[in-house]
Structure 1
Amino acid sequence: MREYSVPPLATAPRVGGLADAVFENAESGPDQVALCRKDDAGRWEDVSAAQFRDEVMALAKGLLAQGVRFGDRVGIMSRTRYEWTLFDFALWAVGAQPVPLYPTSSAEQVFWMLHDSAVSSCLVEHEDHAMTIGSVIGRLPHLRLLWQLDEDPVAELVEAGRHIEDDVVHRHRMAVTPDAPATVIYTSGTTGRPKGCVISHANFMAEADNVVARYEQVFHSKPGDEASTLLFLPLAHVFGRMVQVAAIRGRVKLGHQPNLSATALLPDLQSFKPSFILAVPYIFEKVFAAARRKAEADGKVGPFDKAVDVARRYAEAMEHKAFGTGSGPGAGLRMQHQLFDKLVYSKVRAAMGGRVRHAMSGGSAMERRLGLFWEGAGVTIYEGYGLTESTAAATANPPEQTRFGTVGLPIPGTTVHIADDNEVWVHGGQVFQGYLNDPKATDAVLHDGWLATGDLGQLDEDGYLTIIGRKKEILVTSGGKTISPVPLEERVRAHPLVAQCIVLGNDRPYVAALVTLDAEAVTHWLQMRGKPSLPATDLVRDPDLETEIRRAVVAANTLVSQAESIRTFRILASQFSEEHGLLTPSLKLKRKAIETAYEAEVAALYER
């Protein structure tokens, strides 16, 4: 199949913008809980729709009082927190355009984004961010205002705007049109300078409203309960931003968690108790790996692995039933599944608060085996696919028929086309307006409303999309063999000891790989085997550890022909990091930078 379309369930309004939903929600259900935030004691505190509207209105007046004007661009450099959502909707209420900045961005990255978008004011989280901007402020002639969240600028702005009438904000809000730019989100960029994606109010509304209409049933842990989600994705990324917009428009209670570490995230999941979550595969991998490590430490790894096998077989049988290719789990498998639900699966679900029965995953590929496990464990993960340029999701697995290992069908209102070279093209209301100040780059990806994604894919007979790699990442060995590195890398990464894997081989005689280790998993592995802790430089030469990683490589090689297989690998003493310029803020590998940084190690892989 070369093309598949799904008709829209919602169309973007002909008038208005994103802030309107805040006022409409407060009008129709003022007492309904809209958001949650933590009080000074760390307890979750409900924020009603009416209260949120009032806070948005008060902040919007303060922004006007301090000189923010219709069409101005305002930078936001912060982790995910309540105030980001408050500022977003207040800025949209006055017709301004938030420009998100990753909180880990370097001074030069910050300079480029603020300069390119001609930002007139900026909100930062703390003093370190302020100093980053301060180091380049002399080259930013448009930047006039800087607010710092840990100095409570909200109170200052609210006080400054007390004299402004509500009608002034309403006049600004009503002047916003759906085709007006809502935000400029800079691509994290594996190569070159980040490009500013101009995303309109209509783009967000088409995306969020169709997702809400199609998936509203999965927002609940059971029919009729309160829908709620804890947002821990970075709001600087389009996925997190779409979740925020969809939660407000879909009237889903929204909480925020700024820290993705397990020690911070898991307690908040357990206290907030979301009914569903949206995450990247890394989160689901981490929860699974932590559960297995605990089972091993308790001497129960055998039963745990049996439970994993039962979960996968049960989910696969249910998948066959959904597609009419099987009758579902047999009686024996159902009994085993029921037993392990009490002993294992319920405890894994409890790590995410206990109420989660559905989740959506995007940002990178999820291995089919992991998706099957979670399905069998009672949490259906709907894997999807999208880009900043498509305002997040272009495809996602449907609730009724989830095909694990694929990224699903086009979301309502979207068409997916596979070009002659297997590039994925997308058409729909969520396709962005273009790159800011870069018509040449815009023309390269937009063709009569179609977005050429740069990703390679294939559609099966039912219209489900599978991503097989990126055009720019295809390797061609010196023998002329063409290889997509991503499937190999993902399979190696599935091993619990592996943190990252990069596959090499472009213009080289064979395929090789660099592998980094998960420090927490390795510490546990050493303890369980009675091995002493070693410096990283010595640890990577441990023969038992090398044997473990070789198993991961052998498993990956089963996916491809011998000519495409990984012939040799090297374990590195440290992980690739964003701080060293080897990862994008969304944790994608910067391949050229990694090959340059590890030039000696790469050369050693090809010494004969």
Structure 2
Amino acid sequence: MRDLAPAPPAAAPLTGGLADSLFETADREPTLPMLARRPDPASATWEEVTAVEFRDEVVDLAKGLIASGISPGRRVAIMARTRYEWTVLAYALWSVGAEVVPIYPTSSRDQVEWILRDAGCVAVVVEDEQGVMTVGSVCASLPQLRHVWQLDAGALEELVARGEFIPLATVESMRRIVLPDSTAVIAYTSGTTGRALGCALSHRGLASPCDTLLAGWKETTAPPGEQGSVLAYLPFSHVYGLMIQGICVRGGMLMAHEPDLSGDSLASALRLFRPTYFYGVPSVFEKIYKNMLRTAQQAGRGSLFERAADTARDFAAAVERQRLGRGSGPGLDLRLQHALYERTVYRRLREALGGRVRRATSGGSPLTRDLSLFYEGIGIYVHDGYGLTETCGGATMQPLGREKSGTVGQALPGTEIRVAEDGEILVRGPSVFQGYVGAEAATRAALRGGWLATGDLGQLDSEGYLTITGRKKDVIITSSGKSVAPAFLEQRLRMHPLIHQAVVVGDNRPCVGALITLDPEFLAHWRAGLALQGDAREAREENALREEVARGVAAANSAVSRPESIRVFRILPEPFDVTNGLLTPSMKLRRDEIVRHYAAEIEAMYQSRARPGRLHSSEVLSAWDDSDNVFR
């Protein structure tokens, strides 16, 4: 082993199941608001649900589950968006010792069939008629499946009515026999390279990162004396969403749900609910930044925004050097500039998240240093952490008062992180999963002497800060033998306002290339700003577009060596999406499928050396000759 990060003391161990914390809170603080819900999606008001009301709903639903034959160890799938009923269902199932199997509601028929059959689910809860039809089309191959419950058809109300005769003591007795090491969730991996594997996550494993983060970081979720509040919107079908739900319930924070992930709906929910803490994946923070820039440009204040953004990054970098003991902090001129923009720009930017957020968390993939510094500079520090399904979510976090942008922080207390000789990140700790369901060989390959081989590549510095450099399986090896981790370049590309998605390619090719999709909203705004008229307007617009994207590629290349740089690229006509099979339900790139789908475009892109007329000159960023070192 090459590097080792120390493991600070851990949080107190779990003594029961995940549902226990809800019952304990209801006994201790019965009137504490725990959930917020809207009477209907169009409502501008939120109704608060107290701890005792939440518990009573869970108990009533648990009775109905018992009456329907749901017992300890039974597996029940939930195929729904992030909504109030998801949380109530999960805690009701955990109260009776059942195991939750989350399924993305956007999953294909084949994916739904695979998960229900592989997990051996006895019941599935869907949102609407479309979900019923999807499950109904595969029921013949699922002999264990006994119930299909539809939320929008009143399924929960029917379950509550069915369980009226079940005594409270029955629920209590079943809840009390749930052990910390009992399986709570079977969470399926994203399946980027093949069949999804079901990760068995215990009650202890899911609670561990939640309790550790609450013990060390809860003070950051709200101003002193205020209850923290979070708008849950990312899918509970992903372990990140489950961890946020667990933190809110276990930490007594107020949680609201927003099932609609469209930009307008999320923006409206943030303005109305006004959370004190925000969380997201890097693409969300990128999108918010681009929306801020686009709005400023449309108002004729684009230059002001860019100057304010540069000042924010410079200010945050100076503050970071000071807190890490490497500098004296922002100088007088920088402080004055920052104070001016605080009054005129930053305060308004924070309103995009409701106006009360001062801290946030990013997960799912690394956040770029530039973006992290921007948010810190406008007054919203984004904690970039690291974890995966097999670690029940978070394994690292930024230490308070010693945050370092561009890294994912240090190992959580009680967790150990090592980097192997080949650069692979290894994790050991209480949140590591129990194994893959029905896949002993895959479990043995992943768990090596108590250490989880994550498949991620990274580096640990002398202070234990972890930097993620990519995935082992994604590393590109060019025909000259140069190894390139694509994730960093892709992150840099997405920072350009026009670029929505990027996939770096180049296996067995003479150089690195990129497939690029465009942000439709920013593209429309950019085109409107060109105001081209006259003959050949469309051709001139396309030329200008290629030149602008080429500038984005050049900016990304500035951060890597010449042999690692992108030398050719192709702009694609449509985005990678779940519906076209190029993204997983958790929005991860299906790289192998993308390469197969666009094989002709990739081939044409690399044939540009032999037939230079096939590509616009701006899509070939430099000639390929010996001086470029691309063949060495």
What range is the shorter-chain TM-score in? over 0.9
The equivalent residue for 1:572 is 572
TM-score after normalising by structure 2: 0.94
The equivalent residue for 2:238 is 237
Contact 2:532 2:541 in 1 (8 A): no
User: Following the alignment from structure 1 to structure 2, what is the Cα–Cα distance between the partners of residues 11 and 202?
Assistant: 11
Q: Which residue type is aligned with residue 562 of structure 1?
A: R
- Deviations along 1:517-561, whole A, 9 cap, x unmatched? 0000000001112148xxxxx789801111111111111111222
The equivalent residue for 1:21 is 21
User: Following the alignment from structure 1 to structure 2, what is the Cα–Cα distance between the partners of residues 279 and 399?
Assistant: 19
- Give ranges in structure 1 of 5+ residues lacking alignment: 533-537
User: Following the alignment from structure 2 to structure 1, what is the Cα–Cα distance between the partners of residues 539 and 125?
Assistant: 44
Matches within 5 A, 1:12-411: 12-13=13-14, 15-40=15-40, 42=43, 43-220=45-222, 222-411=223-412
- Deviations along 1:376-403, whole A, 9 cap, x unmatched? 0000000011100001111121221111
User: Following the alignment from structure 1 to structure 2, what is the Cα–Cα distance between the partners of residues 218 and 173?
Assistant: 32
Q: 1:402 to 1:603 in 2, by over 3 A?
A: same
The equivalent residue for 1:606 is 606
User: Following the alignment from structure 1 to structure 2, what is the Cα–Cα distance between the partners of residues 354 and 317?
Assistant: 25
The equivalent residue for 1:510 is 511
Tell me how far 1:6 sits from its aligned partner.
Answer: 2.6
Q: Which residue type is aligned with residue 544 of structure 2?
A: D
Tell me how far 1:211 sits from its aligned partner.
Answer: 1.1
Contact 1:287 1:348 in 2 (8 A): no
User: Following the alignment from structure 1 to structure 2, what is the Cα–Cα distance between the partners of residues 255 and 12?
Assistant: 28
Q: Which residue type is aligned with residue 585 of structure 2?
A: P
The more displaced of 35-44 and 152-161 is 35-44
The equivalent residue for 1:535 is none
The equivalent residue for 2:618 is none
Q: 1:539 to 1:113 in 2, by over 3 A?
A: farther
The more displaced of 585-594 and 139-148 is 585-594
Contact 1:61 1:161 in 2 (8 A): yes
- Deviations along 1:204-254, whole A, 9 cap, x unmatched? 11111001111111111x211121100111000000001101111111111
Tell me how far 1:9 sits from its aligned partner.
Answer: 3.8
Q: The residue matched to 2:6 in structure 1 has which SS? A: strand
Tell me how far 1:478 sits from its aligned partner.
Answer: 0.9
User: Following the alignment from structure 1 to structure 2, what is the Cα–Cα distance between the partners of residues 63 and 251?
Assistant: 26
Q: Which residue type is aligned with residue 38 of structure 1?
A: R
User: Following the alignment from structure 2 to structure 1, what is the Cα–Cα distance between the partners of residues 388 and 242?
Assistant: 12
- Deviations along 1:423-463, whole A, 9 cap, x unmatched? 00001100000000000000001012211000110001111
Tell me how far 1:567 sits from its aligned partner.
Answer: 0.8
Q: 1:290 to 1:539 in 2, by over 3 A?
A: farther
Q: How many residues align?
A: 602
Tell me how far 1:510 sits from its aligned partner.
Answer: 1.1
User: Following the alignment from structure 2 to structure 1, what is the Cα–Cα distance between the partners of residues 585 and 398?
Assistant: 26
User: Following the alignment from structure 2 to structure 1, what is the Cα–Cα distance between the partners of residues 353 and 109?
Assistant: 36
Q: The residue matched to 1:542 in structure 2 has which SS? A: helix
User: Following the alignment from structure 1 to structure 2, what is the Cα–Cα distance between the partners of residues 28 and 5?
Assistant: 36
- Deviations along 1:75-120, whole A, 9 cap, x unmatched? 1000000100000000000000010000110010000000000000
The equivalent residue for 1:554 is 554
User: Following the alignment from structure 2 to structure 1, what is the Cα–Cα distance between the partners of residues 52 and 191?
Assistant: 39
User: Following the alignment from structure 2 to structure 1, what is the Cα–Cα distance between the partners of residues 426 and 436?
Assistant: 17
Contact 2:281 2:362 in 1 (8 A): yes
User: Following the alignment from structure 1 to structure 2, what is the Cα–Cα distance between the partners of residues 448 and 61?
Assistant: 42
Contact 1:293 1:524 in 2 (8 A): yes
Contact 1:374 1:380 in 2 (8 A): yes
User: Following the alignment from structure 1 to structure 2, what is the Cα–Cα distance between the partners of residues 477 and 285?
Assistant: 29
User: Following the alignment from structure 1 to structure 2, what is the Cα–Cα distance between the partners of residues 369 and 560?
Assistant: 15
Q: Which residue type is aligned with residue 86 of structure 2?
A: W
User: Following the alignment from structure 2 to structure 1, what is the Cα–Cα distance between the partners of residues 318 and 561?
Assistant: 28
Q: The residue matched to 1:606 in structure 2 has which SS? A: helix
The equivalent residue for 1:427 is 428
TM-score after normalising by structure 1: 0.97
Q: The residue matched to 2:385 in structure 1 has which SS? A: strand
- Deviations along 1:299-318, whole A, 9 cap, x unmatched? 11111111001100000000
Q: Which residue type is aligned with residue 435 of structure 2?
A: G
User: Following the alignment from structure 1 to structure 2, what is the Cα–Cα distance between the partners of residues 5 and 174?
Assistant: 35
User: Following the alignment from structure 1 to structure 2, what is the Cα–Cα distance between the partners of residues 129 and 45?
Assistant: 28
User: Following the alignment from structure 1 to structure 2, what is the Cα–Cα distance between the partners of residues 336 and 260?
Assistant: 36
Q: Which residue type is aligned with residue 495 of structure 1?
A: H
Q: Which residue type is aligned with residue 596 of structure 1?
A: R
- Give ranges in structure 2 of 5+ residues lacking alignment: 611-632
Contact 2:282 2:365 in 1 (8 A): yes
User: Following the alignment from structure 1 to structure 2, what is the Cα–Cα distance between the partners of residues 176 and 540?
Assistant: 67
- Deviations along 1:42-64, whole A, 9 cap, x unmatched? 22000000000100000000111
1:466 aligns with 2:467: yes
Q: The residue matched to 1:499 in structure 2 has which SS? A: strand
User: Following the alignment from structure 2 to structure 1, what is the Cα–Cα distance between the partners of residues 110 and 263?
Assistant: 31
Tell me how far 1:8 sits from its aligned partner.
Answer: 3.2
Q: The residue matched to 1:403 in structure 2 has which SS? A: coil
Tell me how far 1:411 sits from its aligned partner.
Answer: 1.1
User: Following the alignment from structure 1 to structure 2, what is the Cα–Cα distance between the partners of residues 345 and 399?
Assistant: 23
Matches within 5 A, 1:516-595: 516-531=517-532, 542-595=542-595
Q: 1:151 to 1:543 in 2, by over 3 A?
A: same
- Deviations along 1:275-322, whole A, 9 cap, x unmatched? 001111122111111111111111111111110011000000000000
- Deviations along 1:5-25, whole A, 9 cap, x unmatched? 232341322x31001111100
User: Following the alignment from structure 2 to structure 1, what is the Cα–Cα distance between the partners of residues 273 and 602?
Assistant: 46
Aligned residues: CA RMSD = 1.4
